[in-house]
A and B are shown apart, each in its own frame.
Chain A
Amino acid sequence: MAADIQAGLELVLDPTTLLVVVLAGIFGLFIGALPGMTATLAAALLIPFTFFLDPVPAIASIITMSAMAIFAGDVPGALLRIPGTPSSAAYTEDAFRMTQDGKGPVALGVSLVASVLGGLFGSVVLIFVAPVLGEFALRFTSYEYFWVAVLGLTAAVIISRGSQIKGGIALMLGLLISTIGLDVSIGYPRFTFGESELYRGVDFIPAMIGLFGVSEVLRNATSPIHLGPVPKVSSRGSIRESLRTVWRYKHRVGSGSVIGGAVGSLPGAGADIAAWVSYAVTKNTSRNAHLFGRGKGHPEPIAGAAAANNAGLGSAFIPTLAFGIPGDTITAILIGVLLVKGVTPGPQLFTMNTDMLYAIYIVFIVANLLLLPLGFLLIRASSLVLQVPRATLLAIIVAISIVGSFAINNGYLEITIMLLMGVLGFLLERAKIPLAPVVLGIVLGPIVERNFIQSVIKTNWDLGQFFTRPISAGLIVLTAILLFAPPVIATLKRRMRD
């Protein structure tokens, strides 16, 4: 184990890797801070660059970038009342009111320090829980993988924002798209119209670049976001006050971290859900609850929820690494990058690629430590970042999207897929249909199908095997519990509003 840690350290502390980590971090802060541009978009845009990197810097860039983007989303939330990423939405009201009261730097400082602490906690949870689950997952056969994937599909719909029917429609669309190409089991061509280029099907990476990148460009082109004047931030003396405030609410940072660690590890539930749950818990247990989200705002829920969303990010990697089943869109992208780099996520990772595994752990720690200085820089430079001309930025996004899609397989099919998915994403957003379930459908569809077909071939269509194996039964129970999650979350949200 000590040898693994050393090998991992050598992989991470390579100058190229460190440079990539810093640059990806700055990129993440930048994109995350721009309203409407999510961490998923940033990750999708990063993919083409990862093709030119070794596996460890490639993975490190995505991990660092997403950790930064989750925090950076707080900045426009505090300054303009527009959360930069959905994960910041829970406490935008408090942060914005504090800014109006002249305490903007403190709100952001608290959020930053809590984010770093929460992120470190999430990393520790990942380091200790993932190998246990990975060892357990070595006992999984196609039946268990089938149920884990079904659990992921269920979560994709249940936890999607807004109407669950619309989430279901999005998922079905994704599953339908995933059937294009040679079928995963016996190699029969489906929806290929005799065209061998279509045999490879719809790669989810260009699909994702289109869904999140191009659709965002289209949305901006048709209804531009007009940001009001950006308030100037003077951070003089705010560091000390931020640290004092975090110390005062250290138990909130602690509970937020634990909530984030637990919620994030559920497949389908990511950083944003973690932040909402933590906000609700803080609100229900605090003496100051009557001050939250009104008047001058209050830093207490910020401390909890900011810790929760960054903690959730680390623990979301647990199912990803242990089962190879993505928990959210960012981990789906990460799986894509890992596969391109010849690393198969799943239990084999814990026996075959242990130096890679330890490198991933170390990257998480490094990324969260790096967030502290870079985050403070962002707070200082926030007004500059928010005034970047959007038209230029959108043009760059289109360029990266096209080059990136081509680079996936050096083919033009992927560019077509990317553009079509961009239009699809734009139309779906118009109809308020969430995009994440589409991506999870494309990713999980083949997994569900392959494991189902393998299972029935193995037993000659004895379907009883799906239900009678103990681990399968446990996963079925988990799926059932998940079905009851929406009423619980709805209740939490309602309580928070009161």
Chain B
Amino acid sequence: MARSTALAGNGSGTRSRPWARTVAAVGVAGLVLAACGGEDGDGEGSSDGDGGTAGAGSGGDCDLAADYPSGPIEMIVPWAAGGGTDSVARLVGEQLSTALDTQVNVVNRTGGSGVVGHQAIADAEPDGQTLGLITVEIGMMHHQGLTDLTHEDLSPIAQVNFDPAGLTVAADAPWDDAQALLDHIEANPGTLTASGTGQGGIWHVALIGMLLEAGLEPDAVTFVPSDGAAPALQELVAGGIDLSPSSLGENYTMLEAGRVKALAAMAAEGDPNFPDVPPLAEETGIEFEMGAWRGVAGPAGLDENIVAEVECHLEGIVQGEEYASFMADSRLGVQWRNAEEFAQFMAEDDAAKGEIMERAGLAQ
């Protein structure tokens, strides 16, 4: 029973979701009398076939696809509401909504380390009415054997963010730079522990990549899988682990509180939000770059005019002031790549991670 329902959920989800949203909105209006009246009216009106007015109000220069959009757009987020990916999606969605003059609904489809949400994006109708905020995991989970889904099942539109991996240790740790830490690891392989994501997650792969580049064994540091960067940081402060390769932005409150210190960022330019932290190459000579990224994509087979139109709007959004200040406040890195560059980047990133995961025995 659960099985058939789940399958039905994949197939017909897109069509019936706005309806249920409306029901929910009416429900809220019932309890929370505040200001919901107007909104649920909108929801009802636009939930079906008011495609006639589509595209009329789109921003002038970017209106490259005729009859697009033909109604409200759904933006699928493979991660939970309230997290970093979700907040980026909500900001991009809000601005895209103004630019395209239609409603953009952010819908969280979580679970399975991102598999569920990415699958939902790939399974949607390629009509541009369903887009998604895809994340670095698209290039990792298929190596782990969790899914057959790859970036080739998607139509990349634009990359909007990149956060390099960091190297964060407790404030009272004996190492003052990345080289000292690597020397310690080389002299005492297998004694230090690190954490920051689940097994085979982005920070795990980044750590292994760095170790391999440094000529060390992939298990020279024992990796402890965690439920994200925050619990790992707690372990770091409490002395349960020795280092966290998660992005510096994820650790910034503890960095500012002086409970942990950052030794390096794994990118050629370092992390622009943390100018005081040197790039990994500066101390160690290791030219290794890896990090988490986010981008907008649709299902494979998206019309190229639609891709061009959304890409054009996104370029304006990502290079705008509001986006820059939001990202700086959230300690997230702004990174622009257009559809073509994004596709190429995903292919390279996929191959690089595949190789690391293969050598570390994480690939299936």
A residues lining the B interface (CB < 8 Å): 16, 19-20, 23, 27, 48-49, 51-53, 55, 138-143, 181-182, 184-187, 189, 193, 195-201, 339-344, 346-348, 351-352, 399-400, 403, 406-407, 409-413, 415-417, 420, 450, 453-454, 457-458, 460
Contact = CB atoms under 8 A, between A and B. Distances in A.
19 contacts: A48-B27, A49-B28, A53-B32, A184-B227, A187-B146, A196-B112, A196-B146, A196-B147, A197-B10, A198-B6, A199-B116, A339-B80, A344-B231, A351-B257, A406-B20, A411-B9, A412-B9, A416-B1, A454-B235
A186 B199 contact: yes
Contacts of A341: 81-82
A27 B107 CA distance: 28
A458 B242 CA distance: 10
A403 B24 contact: yes
Given A187-B146, A196-B147, A199-B112, A411 B13 contact: yes
Given A185-B199, A348-B230, A348-B234, 16 more contacts: A48-B27, A187-B199, A195-B6, A196-B115, A198-B6, A199-B112, A199-B116, A200-B112, A339-B80, A342-B83, A344-B231, A351-B257, A407-B20, A410-B17, A417-B2, A460-B222
A197 B115 CA distance: 9
A454 B226 contact: yes
B209 to A, nearest CB: 19
Nearest to A343: B82
Contacts of A184: 198, 225, 227
B31 A23 contact: yes
Interface string B59-88: 000000000000000000000111100110
Contacts of A352: 253
B13 A457 contact: no
A361 B282 CA distance: 47
A451 to B, nearest CB: 9
Contacts of B10: 197
A409 B108 CA distance: 6
Interface in B225-254: 225-227, 230-231, 233-235, 237-241, 253-254
B46 interface: no
Contacts of B87: 342
A407 B9 contact: no
Which range holds the interface residue count of chain B? 35 or more
Given A140-B238, A142-B240, A182-B113, A413 B226 contact: no
Contacts of B116: 196-197, 199-200, 411
B161 interface: no
A420 B198 CA distance: 30
A379 B142 CA distance: 61
Nearest to B80: A340
